[in-house]
Amino acid sequence: MTVSPAIGGVLLAAGGGSRFTGAGQGHKLTATLRGRPVVEWSLEQLLRAGFDDVVVVTGAVDLRVPDGVATVHNPRWAEGQATSLAVAIDRARQRELQAVVVGLADQPFVLAEAWQAVAEAPGAIAVATYDGRRGNPVKLDASIWDLLPVEGDAGARVVIGMRPELVTEVACAGSPADIDTPEDLRRWNSPTTSP
């Protein structure tokens, strides 16, 4: 199954990961999770979802991505997630997309099926839910892009909170668990832990 060519897939991968690097480790997205870098797990699921247009927004660390995957650098990454989202939206406007589905590179257990389900959901904003709790990815229709903040760390949450009538929740399989600390990585690398 492929997603409409008018909808792009966006992986936000620009943050500094201070809770991970502050513990004396390297960057969390390049840390090894079950034999591969964390970012590879997240990007693999996004690519399996079948988007024609996929972009990874980078910032604090350079990331290797496969051929055919665009990267856009956010020079303002330290100012918060909204700046990375703004970079992705600018690119989506240039490519004349009608919507983007946005996820986080430190959430390696979000499945391709979740990306697809959110992309196909009706409405201006679609949000993945896991056991009734909202998470990522999130679909943002072009009709609400001007409402998104361009600074700070809240990203789309601001619009979701202000305009709940625009939000469709999409129940998804998988897990929104993220890798924020070395302890998170150790837990998910344990053979007895599964998402």
159 within domain boundaries: yes
91: containing domain = 7-188
pLDDT, position 25: 67
Q: Are strands 125-130 and 167-171 parallel, antiparallel or unpaired?
A: parallel
> What is residue 1's predicted lDDT score, i.e. its pLDDT?
60
Tell me whether residue 193 is in a domain.
no
> Has residue 17 been placed in a domain?
yes
Number of domains in the chain: 1
Q: pTM of the predicted model, to two decimals? A: 0.93
Q: Residue 109: which CATH number?
A: 3.90.550.10
In a domain, 170, yes or no: yes
CB neighbour class for 82 (10 Å; exposed up to 12, middle 13-18, buried from 19): buried
Q: What is the mean pLDDT of each run of 10 residues along the chain (195 residues)?
A: 88 85 74 92 97 95 90 95 96 97 97 98 97 97 96 89 96 93 87 74
Question: Does residue 175 lie in a domain region?
Answer: yes
The whole-angstrom separation of Cα 151 and Cα 36 is 32
| pLDDT score for 155 | 84
- Rounded to the nearest 10°, the torsion over CA 149, 151, 152, 155 is 40
30 inside domain: yes
Measured in whole angstroms, how far is the alpha carbon of residue 139 from the centre of its chain?
10
Looking up tokens 């990203």, which residue turns up?
A: 155
User: Has residue 44 been placed in a domain?
Assistant: yes
Q: Do the domain assignments include residue 1? A: no
pLDDT score at 99: 98
Q: What tokens appear for 132 in the block?
A: 């009734």
Which backbone phi and psi does 104 adopt, to 5 degrees? -110, 135
